[in-house]
Structure 1
Amino acid sequence: MQGLRGAEPVILGISGSENAGGNTDLALEYAGDLVRRRGGVFRTVHLRDHRISPCSPCGDCNSRTSPCALPDDMPTIIEEMKRADGIIYAVPVHGFGLAHLMQIFIERAGVGYLRFDRPLANKVGGIIVTGRRYSDASVHNQLVDNLLLNRMILVGSGFPALLRNTSREPGLNDPEGLDALERMAHRMMDMALLLRNVQATANGPVLPLDDRNERVARVRSAS
């Protein structure tokens, strides 16, 4: 976390939808409005607007000690994530699973950049999943595992922010899903503000960072 007591928390929304103006974009815009009303800064990354290469057949992801060298927009997005206090992954369900843009992104981000020192540790995390009816909980669970892998703080909202729309027209037509989204956004802001204020008082990390890199931890335990 960076910043002083009272500084505006920055929440970054990452959309994994290729459909501009669709349900996922509408839900993320709604979350952004809630954050701004609380005095936070909300920024959005639409993965469809960036060049993100799928993992190549190099085969050294489990042994490399430096970030992935594929030439695309991943480094820019990773830096945006590092600067944020909180991150919301927003994604539609496709083919009963995670939409391909987000799947490619979390794979590249994880093995290519985040695994070396877990720079997202202790940032606040949130998830929005949009779909018609099926498999939204499974997609949500996959992203929960990804947030936990990166040592992020997943705030509970009572229920997951799963927004369903069976209409052909995009729209926020799910009152229960919207209520869960609102609770999540407010709790993310509550936690981000708390962490900023405590860090400013303590003048140092709020939570321990000694387990950020599991590979280093394994080496220590072996020695």
Structure 2
Amino acid sequence: MRRIVAINGSERAEGNTLGVLEHAATTLATRSVELEIVRLAELRMGPCGPCGDCNSRTVACEVDDDIADVVRRMTAADGIIYAAPVHGFGTSALMQAFIERSGVGYLRFDRPLTNKVAGVIVTGRRYAHTEVHSHLVTNVMLNRMVLVGSGFPAIVYGNQPGDAEHDDEGLQMVDRMLHRMVDMIEVLHEHRELTGRDGLDTDLANERDDRWFAARSSPIG
């Protein structure tokens, strides 16, 4: 069975973001795909520490929390969904903390999410949805995932818990994105089965690769 991991960046235990992800789980089940929902609010996740060597270190973060395990689960999955509410006209603090801890602490060294199929879901009352969506899309692209769309972004409007389930157009965009994610997962899987190689180049130097450091330090000309 294919598996997608959804990162729920909401602080609320039963908020609209979880409601939309539960809807997503039902939709994906019709395609025989399992959705694992990671609730950041339930994890032991500390802030980035005072070491200050994030831009020079070449080994994973030493902060002891649950983020390393989440990264392992994401790496083992076929697809990734970033789902976050709009808080204070920006990305929720939990999701921002996760992006910093996972990205700077683990993902930047060998980009283990390269070629994972990805989608983005944003929930909120009225403002800044597209800004948050763009923020999460940028993170997806930075980690070299394969982003699929739905026509309009998978943005679902709602204020009080349960409101999002009444945004029919928003949920339709979520469903379209989910089906395209599954389709792309299958296309990439079939390509690997037929050719024995990945569909997209994975041998690219990154900002924590020895080749990258060598290129930066070599004399010009």
TM range (shorter): over 0.9
Aligned-partner Cα distance in 2 for 1:14–1:65: 26
Amino acid at match of 1:38: R
1:99 partnered with 2:98:
no
Question: Bigger relative contact order, structure 1 or 2, given CA contacts below 8 A and separation 6+?
Answer: 1
Aligned-partner Cα distance in 2 for 1:211–1:183: 31
Q: List runs of 5+ in structure 2 lacking aligned partners.
A: none
RMSD after superposition: 1.4
Q: How do 1:138-157 and structure 2 match up within 5 A? A: 138-157=131-150
Aligned-partner Cα distance in 2 for 1:214–1:202: 29
Amino acid at match of 1:22: G
Give the number of equivalent residue pairs: 215
Identity rate, percent? 50
Aligned partner of 1:48 among 41, 54, 74 = 41
CA shift for structure 1 position 215: 4.3
- Give the structure 2 partner of residue 4 of structure 1: none
Q: What CA deviation, in whole Å up to 9, does each residue of 1:159-190 have, x standing for no partner?
A: 11110014x34231212211110100000000
CA shift for structure 1 position 207: 1.3
C-alpha contact (below 8 Å) 1:9/1:193 kept by paired residues: no
Aligned partner of 2:122 among 103, 126, 129 = 129
| Cα distance change of structure 1 residues 25 and 212 upon mapping to structure 2, 3 Å threshold | farther
Q: What CA deviation, in whole Å up to 9, does each residue of 1:3-62 have, x standing for no partner?
A: xxxxx2211111011111210001011111111110112111100111001101110000
Q: How do 1:38-187 and structure 2 match up within 5 A? A: 38-166=31-159, 168-171=160-163, 172-187=165-180
C-alpha contact (below 8 Å) 1:163/1:178 kept by paired residues: yes
- Give the structure 1 partner of residue 197 of structure 2: 204
- Matched residue SS, 2:109: coil
Aligned-partner Cα distance in 2 for 1:35–1:73: 26
Aligned-partner Cα distance in 2 for 1:113–1:169: 33
1:32 partnered with 2:25:
yes
Amino acid at match of 1:55: C
Amino acid at match of 1:40: V
Aligned-partner Cα distance in 2 for 1:174–1:95: 21
- Matched residue SS, 1:116: helix
Q: What CA deviation, in whole Å up to 9, does each residue of 1:95-130 have, x standing for no partner?
A: 000111100000011110000000000001111100
Q: What TM-score does the superposition give when structure 2 sets the normalisation length? A: 0.93
| Cα distance change of structure 1 residues 49 and 169 upon mapping to structure 2, 3 Å threshold | closer
C-alpha contact (below 8 Å) 2:3/2:79 kept by paired residues: yes
Q: Which runs of 4+ in 1 moved over 3 A?
A: 214-223
